[in-house]
Structure 1
Amino acid sequence: MHNDFDVVIIGSGAGGAPVAHTLAQAGKAVLVIEKGPLFRPQYQSPNGLSDFKRDELFATGPEKRIRVPGVSNWGESYYSSHVEPDLNDEPHIYQGEDGRDRATIEGYTAQVVGGGTQLYGGVSLRYCPIDFCLGSFNAERTDLKDDPAGDIRREARDWPITYADLEPYYGRAERLIGINGTRSGQAKPFGGDYYQRPLPPNAISDYVKTGLDALGLASYRTPLAVITEDHAPSGRCIPAESEVAKSGFINRYGDPLGLKSNTWVSLLTPVSRLENFALWTNCVVTHLGCAPGGRIDRLFYRDPSGAARRLDLKPGAVVVVACSAIESVRLLALSALAGAEFDRRIHHNDLLGAYFLTHCLGGAEAIMHRRCDKSRSLDSDWATDACQSEAFLHQTGLWAGGVIYNNTSDQALPLSLARTHGSQDLDTIWRAFEGDTRLLGEPLIDFLDQSFGTLLSVCFMANQVPLKSNRIALHPSARDKWNRPAAYIVKQWHPHDIAAMNLLAEQCARILRFGADPVHGRHPIEGQGGVHLAPNARARIANHILGGARFGADPADSVLDPTCRAWQFDNLYVTDGSFMPTSGGANPTLTIQANAFRIADHLLARI
């Protein structure tokens, strides 16, 4: 099939949609290829009904059994979600702490137009300036702790751009996407204020604000990708009752009202009716073809019927890969298997797939002394950058810091209690209750009565130490339903990661303890820690899928150049989270979007 597209973008989420939006509005011929379907909110649907089913992440269909040959969790039960692949059809494989391989759904955000922005809680924080220069910050330090082999000084890298370079694009993203929050109290410079006003916080968040103030930690209202006012760039309007945006379904579910600023409603809808824009849904790109000289001149895909197709690109066309880091790295590796020219160029060094990153995650939770309706809330109300200052890092011996914020909507719905009890999360849904034999009969009723609307958690999001051994590869035997090698996640936590998680979890606990009320005093902590403590800790990635194709100024030390172009290719760019050489001390979505807007400007000058 021949076409006249100027740019073909694979993926419609945070890394792909800003490029599509910018180039389409500039009159370029844009094709977006998305593996999943298009789900529309109510205001876009002819019958007024949303396409969302309220079980986007909680898979409530029939029980299935893992049948991936060779994995140690063969035969275990799982439940499919209609926005993620069936685990038997398209597994990710990770290497457990015991060295055995396990099939997992981790690493898939959401296969739907808008990607993970359809299901995330919308926390949209900027990285701090220090996140861009952790290599130079740590190069001569003598006060680092828990780094006996000197991995941090050896492996930390500065980004080839600075915060100042990205700041205008942060502003563009905040304006075009639609984000509410406050600037005051943030440890980052702002060139303009594009936030909408935040809604009044949920009453249970008062405890967090009290704790932050008691400890002298500067706080601000958490920036969230949810509109609270009419949003002219996307044409979205707020209902008469603006607080209708407060819903426990905002976090981890698709938003039927379209108030959550996923990339479909915020960036792609405004260009969707342009004659120069095309969106192909339910199409899977299987590999790319490379001509001599390093130009991607064709791509191969499966159409919605599953039939194999080929798309030939016109001279001068550009290909942007934005499938989310694991699948983007896998697509590049699969393309190398299919063609010697691609293989030689993408593997000119040993870095494709290396330095895979997620985040150090964790926190603390406590039972508060009053019950609140947490279903009427957004994902978070208060945040602090206090654990990202240079003074804090030198005081604690950490190589990098992280943001702390409260999870207002966490466990807001009864089903959420089942999912998060014991921090089991995706792979082990329901197993938390199955394994906790105390929760039978009256004790289960007592647990629900004690916890529902009273549990309050404060979490942290911090940089993970980059290690070359943490990588995404192709599994030697596990295959997907098209007989392609599955992605293989090889990952471990550095001792410094574990120390950082323990330290930051205690910071979260202190906030909760000091969130006192005049009658009951300090609140006992129900639990605290980091994701390294989970039974499936090796796969704990929380959909923050980063690294594996890092950018840099040196072709010997990176996969992508500073414009996110693959070094030995003329027209191949990668704009999802895989470009990051360090993971940053906050949720990554806004930074991925801002960088994608930056790359879009570069492509405008090129095409």
Structure 2
Amino acid sequence: MTCALLDQDWDAVIIGTGMGGGTIGRALAEGGMRVLFLEKGPKGHRSERQALHSKVFTPEARSLRGFWPTPLRAKIDGKESKFFAPLGAGVGGSSAFYAATLERPERHDMDDHPHAKWPISFDEMQPWYARAEAMYHVCGAPDPLSPEPQAALRAAPELDASDAGLMGEMQQAGLHPYRLHSAIKYVQGCHGCLGSKCPKACKMDGRSAGVEPALASGNAALLDRAEVTGIESFKGRATRLAIKRDGVEHSLSVKRVILAGGALGSAHLMLASKPAGLANSSGLVGRNLMFHLNEMFALWPKVAHAGDGASKAISLRDLYHQGGARFGTVQSMGIGAGYGEILHYLRLMLARSPLRHVPLSHELTRIPAAIAVRMLGNAKVFVGLLEDFGYPENRVVFDPESPDHLCVEYTIAPELKARRRAFRRAIRRAFRVHRKLFLSLQPELNFGHPCGTLRFGNDPKSSVLDVNCKAHDLSNLWVVDSSFMPTSFGVNPSLTIAANALRVGEHILKEAST
């Protein structure tokens, strides 16, 4: 019955249901448009609560749980590896598993960036940030270092004793911590589902804040297990989508197409479409790929406090833009230094190292994990998000021999390595009164934060999308995931994705009404 949806006329077809797709789909449906969501993964059950890093390896089992089914193939600094990236493929996309951190960037991120220009200003984005924060029920406290008007955030629950004690210690050391901005309603019985699916309408993600309200409007429908394998175009317009569902191929005529499959997935789809490199007159489709670098470190409170020791509640921007160097936020990760968490991150590092081929190496990680637990004790795990810059050689590539796999090529630039060293020195200085331990030796790319592969701009020669995120080469195709970003900022991109999706949605509604 659901495939009858492919025989209907839709004002907009949205490919992907994460932060961008869910948000714009709700905006368009509530604005009166008939919207069809196409989702590669399954609907799943609302009661699901599994974590993204579950030990699941077969494509079928991963798809059933809403995980991206196939490994990411990556060539990093010339070395090839294959591993499961933290990406979702179900209703809500990766956001169904995210840690619900929705932070604004800073004015200099858009208005005065030395590496790439934004075609819109920070002031132009401010009202969209406010609307996205309201839609996603963002709670938290103001950043004491920000000169900007403070966002109207909801109050967060009181800090537990361990976080309150550590925050007080940071303030005494001259730092400026604040309550992290989180998209959580904290309804009765809230489990704090950070890094896992939320069984309640509590954690606000692309599903709970976007798709579900869109469907409730009566103007939207959802087709799950619908993988879009290509976009056909004719005379400057996208005309049809090639769709595979449960092994059966379908075709859907389209009036408007909105890509929201993530910075890797959307670029992959455009490169896979015929002619190869859809909307690629600039030659930039898939290029300028950016991640963040994670600087994970354990931090010991000076005084032991009661509490669960694993909440995600503290953020600070003392190092965000220090001495002219672009670093990023430092925030608690929402995990304790427990055996399971340490084992998980050790295995992630192993999957990207030459040691992954050593027999039984996967199981042998249990030994250092157990040792680390005894060493770390009551430490909290923090992460510094180091901003990445876009370079054309860092890119998504399409391999026709493996069309089902996402593939990337990435070189860690010398300037990024130098900034990483400086960032680590700055972290050591900032937390000099605390005992601390960096948890990684080599640069750790955050594969959950890809962006920049279809950047927007005013010049069709140096960008793929125009200022309203419509493809320069196609009159009816827009992109609303993190692909559009010319820079990665020093914060999680999720709030910017949602805010931009609302901005683009209003533009589409106005264009349709004229």
Give the alignment's TM-score, normalised by structure 1: 0.76
Measured in 2, the distance between the counterparts of 1:503 and 1:215 equals: 20
Cα contact 2:76–2:412 (8 A) shared by 1? no
Equivalent position of 1:72 in the other structure: none
SS at match of 1:27: coil
Cα contact 1:363–1:529 (8 A) shared by 2? yes
Q: 1:601 to 1:187 in 2, by over 3 A?
A: same
Shift of 1:549: 0.7
Shift of 1:27: 1.1
Q: 1:29 to 1:287 in 2, by over 3 A?
A: same
Greater Cα shift, 15-24 or 181-190: 181-190
Equivalent position of 2:94 in the other structure: 116
Determine if the alignment matches structure 1 residue 318 to structure 2 residue 318: no
Determine if the alignment matches structure 1 residue 595 to structure 2 residue 503: no
Larger Rg over CA atoms: 1
Q: 1:333 to 1:79 in 2, by over 3 A?
A: closer
Q: 1:258 to 1:433 in 2, by over 3 A?
A: farther
Determine if the alignment matches structure 1 residue 393 to structure 2 residue 351: no
SS at match of 1:16: helix
1:384-463 paired onto structure 2 within 5 Å: 384-389=316-321, 392-394=322-324, 398=325, 400-407=326-333, 409-411=334-336, 414-421=339-346, 424=349, 434-435=364-365, 444=370, 447-451=372-376, 454-463=378-387
Equivalent position of 1:70 in the other structure: none
The aligned amino acid for 1:295 is R
Equivalent position of 1:51 in the other structure: 48
Shift of 1:17: 1.2
Corresponding residue to 1:495 among 407, 414, 430: 414
Corresponding residue to 1:374 among 300, 308, 320: 308
Corresponding residue to 1:581 among 455, 474, 486: 486
The aligned amino acid for 1:60 is K
Measured in 1, the distance between the counterparts of 2:55 and 2:79 equals: 28
Measured in 2, the distance between the counterparts of 1:203 and 1:433 equals: 36
Greater Cα shift, 217-226 or 565-574: 217-226
Equivalent position of 2:249 in the other structure: 308
1:233-244 paired onto structure 2 within 5 Å: 238-239=187-188, 244=189
Shift of 1:84: 1.9
Equivalent position of 1:47 in the other structure: none
SS at match of 1:328: helix
Corresponding residue to 2:120 among 157, 161, 176: 161
Cα contact 1:553–1:561 (8 A) shared by 2? yes
SS at match of 2:222: strand
Cα contact 1:361–1:501 (8 A) shared by 2? no
Cα contact 1:362–1:461 (8 A) shared by 2? yes
The aligned amino acid for 1:415 is G
Shift of 1:191: 6.7
After superposition, give the CA deviation of every residue in 1:557-579 in whole Å (9 maximum; x if it has no partner). Answer: 10111101110110011110010
SS at match of 1:288: strand
Shift of 1:246: 5.3
Greater Cα shift, 259-268 or 413-422: 413-422
SS at match of 2:99: coil
Equivalent residue pairs, number: 500
1:241-280 paired onto structure 2 within 5 Å: 244-245=189-190, 247=192, 250-280=193-223
Determine if the alignment matches structure 1 residue 298 to structure 2 residue 209: no
The aligned amino acid for 1:356 is L
Measured in 2, the distance between the counterparts of 1:381 and 1:168 equals: 25
The aligned amino acid for 1:103 is K
Cα contact 2:180–2:313 (8 A) shared by 1? yes
SS at match of 1:101: strand
Equivalent position of 2:460 in the other structure: 555
The aligned amino acid for 2:387 is N
Determine if the alignment matches structure 1 residue 82 to structure 2 residue 65: yes
Determine if the alignment matches structure 1 residue 174 to structure 2 residue 133: yes
SS at match of 2:391: coil
SS at match of 2:329: strand
Equivalent position of 2:402 in the other structure: 478
Greater Cα shift, 113-122 or 204-213: 204-213
Measured in 2, the distance between the counterparts of 1:415 and 1:221 equals: 26
Equivalent position of 2:15 in the other structure: 10
Cα contact 2:69–2:89 (8 A) shared by 1? no
Cα contact 2:289–2:395 (8 A) shared by 1? yes
Equivalent position of 1:21 in the other structure: 26
Equivalent position of 2:3 in the other structure: none
Shift of 1:528: 5.2
Q: 1:215 to 1:496 in 2, by over 3 A?
A: farther
SS at match of 1:329: helix
Cα contact 1:387–1:393 (8 A) shared by 2? no
Equivalent position of 1:142 in the other structure: none
Identity within the alignment, % = 22
SS at match of 1:272: helix
Shift of 1:184: 4.6
After superposition, give the CA deviation of every residue in 1:224-258 in whole Å (9 maximum; x if it has no partner). Answer: 11113xxxxxxxxx22xxxx4354xx221112233
Q: 1:438 to 1:15 in 2, by over 3 A?
A: closer
Determine if the alignment matches structure 1 residue 104 to structure 2 residue 83: yes
Q: 1:16 to 1:431 in 2, by over 3 A?
A: farther
Cα contact 1:124–1:223 (8 A) shared by 2? yes
Equivalent position of 1:464 in the other structure: 388
Equivalent position of 1:197 in the other structure: 155
The aligned amino acid for 2:364 is E
Shift of 1:262: 1.4
Determine if the alignment matches structure 1 residue 526 to structure 2 residue 437: yes
Structure 2: runs of 5+ lacking an equivalent: 1-5
Cα contact 2:293–2:385 (8 A) shared by 1? yes
Equivalent position of 1:519 in the other structure: none
Q: 1:542 to 1:511 in 2, by over 3 A?
A: farther
Determine if the alignment matches structure 1 residue 329 to structure 2 residue 270: no
Cα contact 1:560–1:579 (8 A) shared by 2? yes
Cα contact 1:59–1:80 (8 A) shared by 2? no
Measured in 2, the distance between the counterparts of 1:60 and 1:422 equals: 11
SS at match of 1:124: coil
Measured in 2, the distance between the counterparts of 1:281 and 1:346 equals: 26
Cα contact 1:357–1:545 (8 A) shared by 2? yes
After superposition, give the CA deviation of every residue in 1:391-413 in whole Å (9 maximum; x if it has no partner). Answer: x233xxx2x23112222x22365
Determine if the alignment matches structure 1 residue 572 to structure 2 residue 477: yes
The aligned amino acid for 1:265 is S
Shift of 1:432: 6.8
Q: 1:196 to 1:412 in 2, by over 3 A?
A: farther
Shift of 1:505: 2.7
Q: 1:393 to 1:245 in 2, by over 3 A?
A: farther
Equivalent position of 1:234 in the other structure: none
Give the alignment's TM-score, normalised by structure 2: 0.89
Cα contact 2:63–2:89 (8 A) shared by 1? no
Cα contact 2:142–2:151 (8 A) shared by 1? no
Cα contact 1:459–1:505 (8 A) shared by 2? no
Shift of 1:424: 2.5
The aligned amino acid for 2:399 is H
